[in-house]
Amino acid sequence: MHPYLELGNLKLQLYYPMFLIGFAAALLISYGLRERFGIGKKDIFGAGLSGLIGLYIGAKFFYFLTKMPEVFSDLNGFKARLDADFSGTLDFLLGGMVFYGGLLGFLLGMWIYARRMGLKFMKFADIATPGFPLAHAFGRIGCFLNGCCYGMEYHGPMSVQYPYNAAEPALSAVPRFPVQLLEAGLNIICFAVLMYLLLRWYPKRSNTDSIMPGKPYGRLLGIYLSYYIIVRFTLEFFRGDEVRGMIGFLSTSQVISLLLIPLTVWLLKNRS
The helix/strand/coil state of 11 is strand
- pLDDT score, position 36: 85
Is the Cα dihedral 162, 168, 171, 172 positive or negative?
positive
- pLDDT score, position 9: 67
- Whether the Cβ atoms of residue 89 and residue 82 lie closer than 8 Å to each other: yes
Check residue 203 and report its DSSP letter.
Answer: P
Q: What does pTM read for this prediction? A: 0.87
- pLDDT score, position 130: 96
Helices (H), 129-240: 131-146, 179-201, 219-235
- pLDDT score, position 225: 96
* Average pLDDT, consecutive stretches of 10 residues, N- to C-terminus, the chain (272 residues): 63 81 95 89 95 95 86 85 85 84 96 94 93 96 89 93 78 92 97 94 62 68 96 94 78 93 90 54
Q: Per residue in 157-213, pLDDT tens? A: 999 998 887 667 778 889 999 999 999 999 999 999 999 999 988 877 555 554 544
Beta bridge partners, 160, equal 176
